[in-house]
Amino acid sequence: MALLHNNRPVRIGKTKKNSCKWQSTAPQCLMAGELFWIKVKIRESDEMHFVNARGILTGSGGHYGMNIYRGCSHGCIYCDSRSRCYRFTHPFEDIEVKQNAPELLEKELRSKRRKCMIGTGSMSDPYMHCEEELRLTRKCLEIILQYGFGAAIQTKSDRILQDIDLLEKINRSAKCVVQITLTTYDDDLCRILEPNVCNTKRRIEVLEEMQKRGIPAVVWITPILPFINDTIDNITSILNECIRTGVKGIIDFGMGLTLREGDREYYYAALDKHFPGMKERYIKHYGNAYELPSPKAGELEALFQKTCRANGILSSPEECFRFMNDMPEKFPQMSIFDL
């Protein structure tokens, strides 16, 4: 059966669970007494389906995390989120949309007495293509602002700029940290490694905008792919841009890559397509290892640490996460001695 949602073609299929309630983003169809769910195509190559999640926040105490979407349309060849250990029950590119995320978030934040940082983007980018249509990330940011919490957002996409007004307000009222991934300075290589998202130069422009607005930024310089982008020139160029745009910290988990079941197969298929003979080189050098450090890891790590120290940039994951998770007290409690 053909059907339009927001003037876009959709496909309809039966489901016994994860059914959607009637909402503008996921209309409910009743046919012969059965509930149907809707797959919407944002781009010709993208699909998404809608679920009502039971909860949205994970963690406790000092900071929480949330993922509004599950899966991703960026197509990064190295993505760890494809790993089978995360137990996806749908194709990775078929984005699971937690359509009730704003309602869940408001309910949870309303009940919390202590303000803290809310992070998003660790598993699935909050600014992938479907956000252009759904704006669930924006709705969640509005709620974070309304209840006086902070936000730490990780993305590769320049779509974050459509919410820069909210990010600036959150940073003024509490704290906002924007995290941008930069792995490859060369844009031709970037189009191979991260094909469905804006290139590195555009992400650097995002960092410039954050700097203009006084919004602190942290860069993820990971993963570094052995024999592909593990060069002095690449790392130096990225670090120079980090210095120029005034980033607060750079996260490096070692100059290398991790592979496990699920993402290994996808990565090796991409190597066969774009770098003939590279898969065999990996297998010969690393076997079936989980950690794949670059042969130049020591040299690259020394350059990274020296540059960060010289420019006052946080350079250990522990320092960066401590900064991102720390929620400042904008309004200190009054003491009786202040009366």
**What per-residue confidence (pLDDT) applies to 28?**
37
Taking residue 194's Cβ as centre, other Cβ atoms within 10 Å add up to 22
**Which of 55, 178, 65 minimizes the C-alpha distance to 116?**
65
Domains observed in the chain: 51-328 (3.20.20.70)
Residues 51-72: tens digit of each pLDDT: 999 999 998 767 899 999 988 8
Taking residue 190's Cβ as centre, other Cβ atoms within 10 Å add up to 22
C-alpha Rg value of the chain to the nearest Å: 21
Residue stretches of the chain with pLDDT short of 70: 1-46, 61, 86, 330-339
C-alpha span between 142 and 122 (Å, rounded):
20
Taking residue 328's Cβ as centre, other Cβ atoms within 10 Å add up to 11
Alpha helices in 12-51 (DSSP H): none
CB 125 within 8 A of CB 157: yes
Residues with Cβ within 8 Å of residue 69, at least 6 apart in sequence: 48, 95, 96, 97, 98, 124, 125, 126, 128, 130, 131, 136
Residues with Cβ within 8 Å of residue 332, at least 6 apart in sequence: none
Residue 244 host element (H or E): helix 232-244
**What per-residue confidence (pLDDT) applies to 18?**
34
Give all strands (DSSP E) within the chain, no chain letters: 3-5, 8-14, 29-31, 34-40, 47-51, 58-60, 63-66, 69-70, 94-98, 117-120, 150-155, 176-181, 217-220, 249-251, 256-258, 291-293
282 phi and psi, to 5 degrees?
Answer: -65, -50
Residues with Cβ within 8 Å of residue 88, at least 6 apart in sequence: 70, 71, 82
pTM: 0.84
Taking residue 171's Cβ as centre, other Cβ atoms within 10 Å add up to 20
CB 91 within 8 A of CB 268: no
Both structure tokens of 36: 């149907």
**What per-residue confidence (pLDDT) applies to 330?**
64
Q: In the chain, how many H helices and how many E strands?
A: 11, 16
C-alpha span between 102 and 81 (Å, rounded):
23
The end-to-end CA distance of the chain, in Å, is: 71
**What per-residue confidence (pLDDT) applies to 46?**
60
For 176, left (φ over 0), alpha (ψ -120 to 50), or beta?
A: beta
Q: Distance of CA 54 to CAs 18, 26, 88, 100, 104, Å? A: 10, 17, 17, 9, 8
CB 19 within 8 A of CB 49: no
CB 137 within 8 A of CB 162: no
